[in-house]
Amino acid sequence: MLRIAARVPDHGKLVPWRFIIIGGPERAVFTERLMEIWRSRNEAASEQMAEVERSKRDGAPLVVAVVSRAAEHPKIPVWEQQLSAGAVCLNLLHAAHAAGYAAQWLTGWPAYDAEVARLLGLKEGERIAGFIHIGTPAEAPVERDRPDLDSIVVRWVG
Ligand SMILES: Cc1cc2nc3c(=O)[nH]c(=O)nc-3n(C[C@H](O)[C@H](O)[C@H](O)COP(=O)(O)O)c2cc1C
């Protein structure tokens, strides 16, 4: 799956992304660490609120953090490097689904938190493009409204 995920358009072959696998026994430890950080930020939160938070962090047995390491480059804009990291996330979703798993691209506060970044060993300039949660499907995914193409497509007429 990671091989498929890494097979994305990558202008300049910079490989401006990397993976951190959070699985096995470390998966539960990761949730605990996130909860500790969350509690330190939400000291007044009730146990019920903590359980809601835990249910959001505690989903699939495998999480792959896709890390963007886009950096200033003389020819390749940072924007294009970040888009490439997004493509990695989507490819990983497709790879997981094609292999029969369920997968979801999540961010939430942990993707933007300096302490979580330290916990994951992110280096200066690195950031989370997505936490890709992967597991065995428990139920059919809920469909939701999709964009009305007529409202977002125009034909360029010069
Ligand atoms: C960058 C990014 C971050 C996302 N983060 C979250 C999130 O934190 N929580 C959430 O419920 N959905 C999040 N989503 C949306 C889900 O990945 C997904 O689109 C949604 O669950 C519906 O799935 P579907 O589009 O396959 O029907 C995020 C999507 C993207 C592109």
ipTM of the complex: 0.96
The 10s digit of each residue's pLDDT in 79-99 is: 999 999 999 999 999 999 999
pLDDT of 59 strictly over 90:
no
Q: Separation of 130 CA from ligand 1 center, angstroms?
A: 9
Of 139, 122, 140, give the one whose Cα is nearest residue 131: 122
Calculate the average pLDDT of the chain: 97
Crossing angle of helices 25-41/47-57, nearest 10°?
140
Annotated binding site for FMN: 7, 11, 105-107
Token duo for residue 131: 């936490």
Task: Compute the distance from residue 132 Cα to the ligand 1 centre, in Å.
Answer: 10
Strand (E) positions, 11-95?
17-22, 62-68
**Cβ 63 vs Cβ 95: under 8 Å:** no
What pLDDT shows up at residue 51?
97
For ligand 1, atom 13, name the residue with the nearest CA: 106
- Match 């690195």 to its residue by tokens: 126
Q: How far is CA 157 from the centre of its chain?
A: 38
Fold (CATH) for 2-138: NADH Oxidase (3.40.109)
Q: How many helices (H) and strands (E) in the chain?
A: 6, 4
